Homo-oligomer: A and B are copies of this chain.
């Protein structure tokens, strides 16, 4: 079946070479002393198959349609644990299991309404940040704007903001446009007020904190996200994000010089302990099953969209990449595992539990990667491996280069998102950098839905990981060295 499909691929000069078993692959001149020709050709076949197979997209469709929102500790979370196991089995994984993850507190979002009371009445779009307390009825206060989190921090601790609503209007867009500043650093900057603003504002007496949503869109949705929890001895104040258009609206009113008063009401509530699970699927290695390559994504999502880009795209691409490896003629030499982590959005619960449980066998994890930047086009490969294995990885890269992927010499990847916890603990990693424009527009909003998935980009993403991890599973390398 695969061969039939493959000959349909237009424009791939590599196919003929692959089918006839030449030692070099097109113009890429893969060194057969590093990657045997037969293996290189098998990798090309796998890659080209992944480019024409929509499995990764179909998985996201299934996840977002059949499960939908799935914040850890909610009913959707319980559904996704069942869905994941069933999907792994359907895709032919050899072993499927779950590992329990404890969550010390749950959270109910409740309903949120907000309005500008004066000088001009408007309903505005506001959403509670994760694990915020509720407002206990209407909370009415005058807005005090801070353009950055640093401006809020610069206010001396005390009661100068008493009864006020602190408003951090930092716009990720403005920051992104500055030359030399990357999108991820702009996201990190925005994350400061989102993560710590409620404590910082409370220490200055504020009744609540509201931030402009951390994202690059101008849709009238608020981007939720998680604070880092409350601090003992500091008043627990509500924390919320408002949509970019409503941030502009408030700023335009403030420019007129008079006070701007906002009323907010949300019924969020922190609840008791609960639990979830990491879900793991394995393609078991034919020769060395006790060593494995790990492909990660987080299975939870925020609760207002259906989590298509964050992180359905990761779930779909990683499950499909491993499934494609499992559909080769033989099992790979070593095992390939897909780790679907619980509770990334609310504080890396799944990966932290995994790390704790697998400290003693972390050495069996040979190489890891995670997709958690949406389904956008892959453009650069960054490795994070030992000096001895680096030339091998560089040679493996030649087999994904035809996907339009550049090579980075940095060799400092720890893996992204959850996987970086294991990467920092010593597990070798690699990352394909992606175009994250859409991700930064839609993630953490009701607008993160299946229609935002671009199938061709998903196939490229899946092909990239399938190819690299197939090679990594076949070759006898210790990526730590």
Binding site for B on A (CB under 8 A): 61, 64-68, 120-122, 125, 218-221, 244-246, 248-249, 252-253, 305-306, 445-447, 449-452
Contact = CB atoms under 8 A, between A and B. Distances in A.
Given A67-B120, A249-B450, 10 more contacts: A65-B249, A66-B120, A218-B449, A219-B447, A220-B449, A245-B447, A245-B452, A248-B449, A248-B451, A249-B449
Contacts of A68: 120-122
Contacts of A122: 68, 306
Q: What is the count of identical protomers in the complex?
A: 2
Contacts of A121: 68
B65 A253 contact: yes
A405 to B, nearest CB: 28
A65 B120 contact: yes
A5 to B, nearest CB: 22
A74 to B, nearest CB: 12
A306 B245 CA distance: 10
B125 A446 contact: yes
A449 B65 contact: no
A399 B61 CA distance: 53
Contacts of A447: 219-220, 245
Contacts of A245: 447, 449-452
A139 to B, nearest CB: 21
Contacts of A244: 451
B446 A220 contact: yes
A109 to B, nearest CB: 12
14 contacts: A61-B252, A65-B249, A65-B252, A68-B120, A219-B219, A219-B447, A220-B221, A220-B446, A220-B447, A220-B449, A245-B447, A245-B451, A248-B449, A249-B450
Nearest to A244: B451
Nearest to A76: B121
**Among A125, A219, A252, A306: residue with most chain B CB under 10 A:** A219
A61 to B, nearest CB: 6
Contacts of A452: 218, 245
B220 A305 contact: yes
Closest 7 CB pairs of A and B: A245-B449, A220-B447, A218-B451, A248-B451, A220-B446, A65-B252, A68-B122
A65 B255 CA distance: 11
Contacts of A252: 61, 65, 450
A14 B423 CA distance: 63
Nearest to A120: B66
Q: Most chain-B CB neighbours within 10 Å: which of A120, A253, A306, A449?
A: A449
A450 B248 contact: yes
Contacts of A246: 449
A122 B76 CA distance: 10
A277 to B, nearest CB: 21
A227 to B, nearest CB: 24
Contacts of A61: 252
A306 B450 CA distance: 28
Contacts of A220: 221, 305, 445-447, 449
Nearest to A116: B68
In this complex, which of A68, A248, A446 has the most chain B Cβ atoms within 10 angstroms of its Cβ? Answer: A446
